[in-house]
Amino acid sequence: MITNIQKWFLIMALWVFMIFSVFAFYWLLIRPARVRVMCAEKAKKISLETKSGLLNTLEINRAVYSDCLRCSGIEK
């Protein structure tokens, strides 16, 4: 037989698990995707502003994108 205290404990444990699951889903899937899109836009904007050759533009794009990801905590 389950007492009222045990019922409330189970309800609270379920809520904590649900909140943790939503937070983990956001932190591991949604946030990195948004950061990658933001960094790609930033790298594209900066590389288009430079008036250098194609090879230098690609190198600048990669460098800015990698630096943006590192600063956002996505890649080390």
Q: Give me the sign of the Cα torsion angle 22, 23, 25, 30.
A: positive
What is the rounded CA–CA span in Å between residue 42 and residue 67?
11
pLDDT in tens, 42-55: 999 988 888 777 77
53 vs 32, higher pLDDT: 32
- Looking at residue 76, its pLDDT comes to 54
Cut 0.85: pTM above it:
no
Mean pLDDT (the chain) is: 91
Integer Rg of the chain from CA: 22
C-alpha distances in Å from residue 31, one per residue of 9, 22, 37, 52, 73 = 31, 12, 10, 33, 11
